[in-house]
Amino acid sequence: MRAIGGGVKEISIHALGEWRVVFVAKLHDAIYVLHAFQKKTRKTSRQDIDVARRRYKQIGG
């Protein structure tokens, strides 16, 4: 997910709706979950991207 930052990945979960988990692995010993949310449309909302981007910056991304 380049819109958030380098190395950010997304997992799609298809159970009781569509869910996404946005995460980044840093320093080979930690995985930071930046945001998890239910998708209700095909496009990821600007609000969800902004939340993940803010959290990415907080961890030094």
The token duo for 57 is 């910056």
User: Average pLDDT in the 47-56 region?
Assistant: 96
| pLDDT confidence bin for 27, thresholds 50/70/90 | low
Q: What is the average pLDDT score of the chain?
A: 91
Considering only CA atoms, which of 28, 27, 18 is closest in space to residue 48? 18
Q: What is the pLDDT of residue 2?
A: 82
Radius of gyration of the chain (CA): 12
The amino acid at 21: V
| CB count in 10 Å sphere of residue 34 | 23
16 or 29: which carries more pLDDT confidence?
A: 16
d(CA 26, CA 16): 30
**Percent with pLDDT over 90 in the chain:** 70
Domain layout of the chain by residue ranges: 8-58
